[in-house]
């Protein structure tokens, strides 16, 4: 029973980490986007992901309270006071923002995945996860509408935008495999209908992504290499950098409030 509770806490935190790190990455565009409307859009999407992370962490904190009582961590402590190896986010979300093409290519591949994933998670037997998914999916629909528009516009745009988009896709392609890799704790929760079988989403994801890339006159990169490890806390060198910036204030002034 205790193991099951641990699996659930790990799972909820991992979902929160995916959202928080992507939200933090997107927020780096604030003040730097190519034009004002895009600056607002990126900040808005970032905020949606940070809000999503907060819902997952609040739930993780509640779950911890059941087991650890007063020793349980708050949502803020979960977000700001863990070290690199304790984060469970997928590697694809921690990669630096790169150029605008890279940011949008990552966003598009992750948005398509999130839509498929959340469509399943709304049916989770865990009612809190189902409720979070119910809120998040409506936002993801808007995210995807925008990111696929950018794929078309940049892929089927100028020579330079096309070439940058192809380069971006090639750079991130090997990280997409992890979207469909099950961690031990996700597998353990699958039997009770709490978690989602990621492996089963792969063919739909490929179909949607391939169709849109073709429409955008972009080549689908070949599967030459794959990396995984985020779910076990084995990150790229970029994770430490993003945490240093994100956690600076709480580490320097512990417990500081807005």
Partner 1 sequence: MDSIPVISEPLAERMARRRDSAYPALWDLLDQVKDPEIPVLSLWDLGVLQDIVVADQTVLVTITPTYSGCPALREMQQDIDSVLIAAGYAKVEIATQLAPAWSTEMISEKGRQQLLDYGIAPPVSRRGQPICCPRCASPKTQLISQFGSTACKALYCCEHCAEPFDYFKCL
Query: Contact positions toward partner 1, by CB under 8 A?
Result: 23, 37-38, 40-41, 44-52, 54-55, 127-128, 130-132, 134-136, 138-139, 142, 145-146
SS (H, E, C) 13-44: HHHHHHHHHHHHHHHCCCCCCCCHHHHHHHHH
Q: How far is the CB of 40 from partner 1 (least distance, A)?
A: 5
Residues contacting residue 45 through CB under 8 Å, at least 6 positions apart: 26, 107, 143, 146
Among residues 26 and 179, whose Cβ is nearest to partner 1?
A: 26
3-state SS, residue 49: helix
Among residues 10 and 148, whose Cβ is nearest to partner 1?
A: 148
Enter the tokens of residue 249.
């204030």
Residue 208 to residues 197, 203, 215: CA-CA distances in angstroms? Answer: 18, 9, 11
- Name the packing angle between helices 100-121 and 2-27 (round to 10°): 150
Which DSSP string corresponds to 59-104?
HHHHHHHHHHGGGPPPHHHHHHS--GGG----HHHHS---SHHHHH
Among residues 48 and 186, whose Cβ is nearest to partner 1?
A: 48
Among residues 20 and 188, whose Cβ is nearest to partner 1?
A: 20
Q: How far is the CB of 65 from partner 1 (least distance, A)?
A: 16
Between the two ends of the chain, the Cα-to-Cα distance in Å is 38
Q: Please name which of 155, 149, 154, 147 lies closest in space to residue 217, comparing C-alpha atoms.
A: 155
Q: How far is the CB of 253 from partner 1 (least distance, A)?
A: 20
Q: How far is the CB of 138 from partner 1 (least distance, A)?
A: 5
Q: How far is the CB of 52 from partner 1 (least distance, A)?
A: 5
Among residues 37 and 70, whose Cβ is nearest to partner 1?
A: 37
Among residues 45 and 63, whose Cβ is nearest to partner 1?
A: 45
Q: How far is the CB of 137 from partner 1 (least distance, A)?
A: 9
Among residues 51 and 174, whose Cβ is nearest to partner 1?
A: 51
Q: How far is the CB of 43 from partner 1 (least distance, A)?
A: 8
Radius of gyration of the chain (CA): 18
């Amino acid at each position: 029973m205790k193991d099951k509770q641990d699996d659930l806490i790990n799972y909820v935190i991992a979902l929160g980490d995916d959202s928080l790190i992507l939200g933090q990455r997107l927020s780096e565009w604030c003040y730097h986007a190519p034009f004002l409307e895009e600056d607002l859009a990126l900040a808005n999407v970032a905020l949606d992901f940070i809000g999503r992370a907060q819902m997952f962490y609040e739930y993780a904190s509640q779950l911890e309270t059941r087991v650890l009582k007063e020793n349980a961590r708050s949502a803020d402590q979960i977000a700001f006071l863990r070290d690199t190896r304790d984060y469970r986010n997928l590697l694809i979300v921690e990669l630096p923002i790169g150029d605008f093409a890279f940011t949008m290519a990552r966003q598009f591949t992750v948005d398509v995945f999130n839509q498929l994933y959340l469509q399943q998670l709304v049916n989770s037997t865990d009612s809190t996860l189902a409720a979070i998914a119910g809120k998040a999916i409506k936002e993801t629909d808007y995210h995807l509408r925008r990111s696929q528009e950018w794929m078309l516009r940049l892929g089927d745009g100028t020579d330079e935008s096309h070439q940058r988009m192809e380069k971006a896709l090639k750079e991130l392609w090997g990280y997409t495999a992890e979207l469909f890799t099950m961690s031990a704790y996700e597998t353990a929760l699958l039997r009770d209908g709490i978690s989602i079988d990621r492996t089963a989403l792969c063919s739909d994801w490929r179909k949607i992504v391939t169709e849109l890339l073709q429409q955008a006159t972009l080549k689908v990169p070949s599967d030459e290499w794959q990396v995984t490890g985020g779910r076990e806390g084995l990150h790229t060198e970029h994770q430490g950098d993003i945490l240093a910036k994100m956690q600076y204030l709480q580490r320097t002034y512990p417990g500081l409030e807005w």
